[in-house]
Structure 1
Amino acid sequence: MRLVIARCQVDYAGRLTAHLPLAIRLIMVKADGSVLVHSDGGSYKPLNWMSPPCSLNVADPDDDAREDGVTSVWTVQNSKTDDRLVISIHDVIEDATHDLGDDPGLVKDGVEAHLQRLLAENVETFGVGWRLVRREYPTAIGPVDLLCRDETGVTVAVEIKRRGEIDGVEQLTRYLDLLNRDPQLSPVRGVFAAQEIKPQARTLAVDRGITCLTVDYDALRGVDDPSTRLF
């Protein structure tokens, strides 16, 4: 990655036009060819950028630009369209290149797969005497996250979401309709489990006879004990 801090102006031309007046900015040139122009604000979002596939050409300024103080002109041209990003460099304050190596990618914590595994390992979160029949129980319309038996032996289909919304309730409803046609499983009731359940989803679930359970992810993995909280 190349990081250039420079006093520059930036012009974008193509499907739209945009102009950034002369100021000190950070220019990032990534290994994939993308070029991003950042200010010292605006959070993570660049002021302007060009995504790959594109090419970067550095040229000397013409006489008029040189008289205005431009020392070099960067033209970033999109390989598939006429879009181009033109960066007129006046002064370079710092220019550094770093090899960041291969990135392993973002590993998210608290995603649905983690929550499903923890609930499968701690199935009595749903109630004393519960037991797990199978994770990812296969059906013709997709796998049910958890298939369980409650303390009375009744089959329970559990749908797990990080954020419970109406589409999750609809998904569980379809599973229940299909599972209740199987005489070896019927009657099957449903539990909608999530870290957060939207009010509309909860209302729909209750109307359809589905139990809602809000799950404390940190407590499940042993990071936080709710019994030790003051409030």
Structure 2
Amino acid sequence: MRLVVARCSVDYAGRLTAHLPLATRLLMVKADGSVLVHSDGGSYKPLNWMSPPCTLLTTPAEGPAAEAGATQTWRVASTKSDDVLVVSVHEVLSDTSVDLGVDPGLVKDGVEAHLQRLLAEQIEHLGSGYALVRREHPTPIGPVDILCRDAVGGSVAVEIKRRGDIDGVEQLTRYLELMNRDPHLAPVAGVFAAQEIKPQARVLATDRGIRCVVLDYEAMRGVDDPTTRLF
């Protein structure tokens, strides 16, 4: 990972246009190719970013950017669309690179880990004919919770959350992008499974072709039998 603190302005063009005027910001370049622009606020959310796959080209500033005082131009271009992120760097205050190595992935809390085990044991909750391949299937950015096959033998990646929100859908989307590059797995479908799925997450998942499944944790662990309910 490369972390650059610099005075810079940022312009984005693609599905929309956006401009960040000159200010001191953190530029984060990750090993997966993503580039994120952060300020000293806004919690974990970047002000702007480019997701992989993309290319980063750094050149000396020219033309209007140089006349405005920029010394470098970072041009980050998506390889799947016409989206472009242009960072005009005026002054570099810090430039550090650190090899973080392979991340072991998120350590699940008790309920989430238990849900993963239960669903692996009761994979039929995803549909008739589904078969488990493995839990914690590795990808370059961390393990996807479950890899399984559907009734016709297609690969299916399952991400499990206790409460499903937009971040979980984005996480599964990144896994699917990488897994679909593997000819031994592709095409890989996605299933977003959770005890509760927020409406915004469901809309985003549906838009991206990801199926949502609501899990009844109590019934799966044998505490509550849904066949005995009056309502």
- TM-score normalised by L of structure 2: 0.54
- Superposition map of 1:161-176 within 5 A: 168=215, 172=219
Letter in 2 for 1:35: V
2:75, 2:84 within 8 Å by CA — same for their partners in 1?
A: yes
Structure number with bigger Rg: 1
**Structure 2 gaps, min length 5:** 131-160, 164-194, 198-213
- Report how many aligned residue pairs link the two structures: 150
1:64 aligned counterpart, secondary structure: helix
2:162, 2:196 within 8 Å by CA — same for their partners in 1?
A: no
**Could you tell me which residue of structure 1 aligns to residue 35 of structure 2?**
35
The RMSD of aligned alpha carbons is 3.8
Say whether 1:208 aligns with 2:201: no
Tell me: CA distance 1:80–1:165, structure 2 relative to 1, closer, same or farther (3 Å). Answer: closer
Superimposed CA distance per residue, residues 143-186 of structure 1 (whole angstroms, 9 cap, x where no aligned partner): 9xxxxxxxxxxxxxxxxx957669556x95xx9xxxxxxxxxxx
**Could you tell me which residue of structure 2 aligns to residue 23 of structure 1?**
23
**Could you tell me which residue of structure 1 aligns to residue 85 of structure 2?**
85
2:40 aligned counterpart, secondary structure: coil
**Could you tell me which residue of structure 1 aligns to residue 200 of structure 2?**
none
Say whether 1:11 aligns with 2:11: yes
- Hey, what's the Cα distance between the residues in 2 that align with 1:8 and 1:47? 13
Quote how far apart the aligned CAs of 1:58 are.
0.7
1:192 aligned counterpart, secondary structure: coil
1:33 aligned counterpart, secondary structure: coil
Letter in 2 for 1:43: S
**Could you tell me which residue of structure 1 aligns to residue 54 of structure 2?**
54
Tell me: CA distance 1:22–1:57, structure 2 relative to 1, closer, same or farther (3 Å). Answer: same
Which shows bigger deviation, 68-77 or 103-112? 103-112
Percent of aligned pairs with the same amino acid = 62
2:110 aligned counterpart, secondary structure: coil
Letter in 2 for 1:96: T
1:110, 1:162 within 8 Å by CA — same for their partners in 2?
A: no
- Superposition map of 1:94-109 within 5 A: 94-109=94-109
- Hey, what's the Cα distance between the residues in 2 that align with 1:19 and 1:10? 6
Letter in 2 for 1:51: S
**Could you tell me which residue of structure 2 aligns to residue 72 of structure 1?**
72
- Hey, what's the Cα distance between the residues in 1 that align with 2:101 and 2:73? 29
- Hey, what's the Cα distance between the residues in 2 that align with 1:138 and 1:18? 44
Tell me: CA distance 1:162–1:58, structure 2 relative to 1, closer, same or farther (3 Å). Answer: closer
Superimposed CA distance per residue, residues 120-165 of structure 1 (whole angstroms, 9 cap, x where no aligned partner): 9xxxxxxxxxxxxxx957979679xxxxxxxxxxxxxxxxx95766
2:53, 2:79 within 8 Å by CA — same for their partners in 1?
A: yes
Tell me: CA distance 1:50–1:107, structure 2 relative to 1, closer, same or farther (3 Å). Answer: same
- Superposition map of 1:75-224 within 5 A: 75-114=75-114, 136=121, 168=215, 172=219, 191-192=223-224, 208-209=229-230
Letter in 1 for 2:71: T
Quote how far apart the aligned CAs of 1:107 are.
1.3
Quote how far apart the aligned CAs of 1:86 are.
0.1
Letter in 2 for 1:84: V
1:12 aligned counterpart, secondary structure: strand
Quote how far apart the aligned CAs of 1:191 are.
3.6
Question: Structure 1 stretches (4+) deviating beyond 6 angstroms?
Answer: 137-143
- TM-score normalised by L of structure 1: 0.54
Quote how far apart the aligned CAs of 1:60 are.
1.4
